[in-house]
Chains A and B, each alone.
Chain A
């Protein structure tokens, strides 16, 4: 059995049918996971200034870029093993670089609150064994973490939930659209206006405290009644909720305080984003947006969006991420104007503009290691295919030697 790196559920029941050292078939994974494990059509090749080069020269050139930079940033690592993340942080420390990852504009704020123990949480195994009320909030697990409902939350039998979804579990969706997850939560889908989460939470808190809220009174009282009766609940916080309350995140803490039987569960996309947050947190006390000047210092100005917008970085190393695809196009011109080193198994939009490209092994398929599941559990990744690619960890070590 192998571990899927399609998302941060890190499903450990994957079978790979290998023929001639190529993956012929992936079993048990979802569409996303199977596609990821089978690999991309366009492998990255080493290059300097978009001209083919050998790996050694590419690593040397990358090190030279880092040596010459006054304010370099290392970005990504959410699709790398925890071992590679540790090396990446050591490299950032050695060269006094900024280090950031996609959690900076994703679920970082939520994970930070969880690591600071401001929010009660539990393991996905606890959810499977005990949970009777499930709230998918701003989260379309069916499309983003497709086996969440079938492996852990809604459909499976658990120790205290022997009748699974038919009798023992109730699923609720709160969202701005009727997602595929909301469709499953038949009769318990609460549609809210865009950015309406705060108002919804305030009304729900009123209803939980026994008052009749002005906002959607009947539905709110009904929902409060379901939540109060729960024996063991999970609120699965998607990016929709996180974005909506990002300027007033304490409101989620306040709601959680009124729901002592509920656990706040982060829904994470990239397979080891939580791992990056945890590793950096252990090293510095911060989950992202850190600059090393001796000790790590966190500041919003070290978020990749701000750094590009303010043109405050003069070199960028991207590891297993594609910021040219995922960031607002309006901040890309600065990225395209500075030397970029792209480390990835596949060609990406970022590799297309990078000064140096260094191909890496696809972790979990071509290299081993460990990663942190979205609930914090450490999961092993086992290599499936023999290959000559350097792992992200190897590349970080080599860069550290060469800078």
Chain B
């Protein structure tokens, strides 16, 4: 039986720029049950253009790790529904996206919610559950 060398190799990592947006289906899920599966399913997602998916070698449904100096989360990859040119990834405003937001504000109180630099790589980990994001703060 051969050795699966692949599991010792680090997945390639890419630099990406992410912006956040609002989605009515996710907000509906939030209003109903922010602790529920549906809210997580709609929130823990990053959308990439077809071009970027091809360039990075990801497929819709893959899980990816997003990380930067402020945090790290595992989310699911989706292909942007619209004809996006690429170079910019999209996440719906949620605790998953908020895990990557800097607290640098130049003292002005408004973080860069819509301009997030991060590294993205394929991951075999499960999608980061809300209890991991929030539960660490529970007393």
Contact of B137 among A35, A144, A244, A333 (CB under 8 A): A333
Name the A residues within 8 Å of B106 (CB-CB): 247
Min CB–CB distance A45 → chain B (angstroms): 15
Residue from B17, B22, B25, B138 having most chain A Cβ neighbours under 10 A:
B22
Q: Is the CB of B33 within 8 A of A41?
A: yes
Counting chain A residues whose Cβ lies within 8 A of the other chain, the interface size class is: 35 or more
Name the A residues within 8 Å of B130 (CB-CB): 349
A237 to B45: give the CA distance in the assembly, Å: 26
A329 to B23: give the CA distance in the assembly, Å: 21
A243-B110 CB under 8 A given contacts A140-B22, A329-B98: yes
User: Which one of A16-24, A82-90, A121-129, A320-328 contacts B?
Assistant: A320-328
Contact of B95 among A177, A243, A300, A349 (CB under 8 A): A349
Q: Is the CB of B109 within 8 A of A178?
A: no
Name the A residues within 8 Å of B102 (CB-CB): 328, 330
Residue from A143, A243, A325 having most chain B Cβ neighbours under 10 A:
A325
Q: Is the CB of A40 within 8 A of B113?
A: no
**A348 CB–B CB distance under 8 Å:** yes
If over half of A's interface residues share one DSSP class (helix, strand or loop), that class is named, otherwise mixed; here it is helix
A195 to B106: give the CA distance in the assembly, Å: 17
A300-B70 CB under 8 A given contacts A35-B32, A41-B33, A244-B114: no
**A336 CB–B CB distance under 8 Å:** yes
Contact of A183 among B32, B82, B94, B109 (CB under 8 A): B82
Q: Is the CB of A247 within 8 A of B108?
A: yes
A325-B95 CB under 8 A given contacts A36-B31, A105-B109, A300-B109: yes
Name the B residues within 8 Å of A347 (CB-CB): 35
If over half of B's interface residues share one DSSP class (helix, strand or loop), that class is named, otherwise mixed; here it is loop
A154 to B130: give the CA distance in the assembly, Å: 39
**B101 CB–A CB distance under 8 Å:** yes
A322 to B137: give the CA distance in the assembly, Å: 14
Q: Is the CB of B24 within 8 A of A41?
A: no
Chain A stretch 330-362: residues in CB contact (< 8 A) with chain B: 330-333, 335-336, 347-349, 352-353
User: Which one of B4-12, B55-63, B83-91 contacts A?
Assistant: B83-91
Name the A residues within 8 Å of B103 (CB-CB): 305, 309, 328, 330-331
A34 to B28: give the CA distance in the assembly, Å: 8
A326-B114 CB under 8 A given contacts A104-B109, A177-B90, A336-B139: no
Q: Is the CB of B134 within 8 A of A324?
A: yes
A residues near B, CB below 8 A? 6, 30-32, 34-36, 38, 40-42, 49-50, 104-105, 109, 140, 142-144, 146, 176-179, 183, 191, 194-195, 239-240, 243-244, 246-247, 269, 289, 300-301, 303-306, 309, 322, 324-333, 335-336, 347-349, 352-353
B residues near A, CB below 8 A? 17, 19, 21-25, 27-28, 31-36, 70-71, 80, 82-85, 88, 90, 93-95, 98-99, 101-103, 105-115, 130, 133-134, 137-139
24 A-B pairs whose Cβ atoms sit less than 8 Å apart in the complex: A6-B31, A40-B32, A41-B36, A42-B35, A105-B109, A143-B24, A144-B22, A177-B21, A177-B84, A179-B21, A194-B17, A194-B114, A244-B114, A246-B108, A247-B108, A303-B105, A305-B105, A309-B103, A309-B105, A326-B98, A330-B70, A330-B101, A349-B95, A352-B134
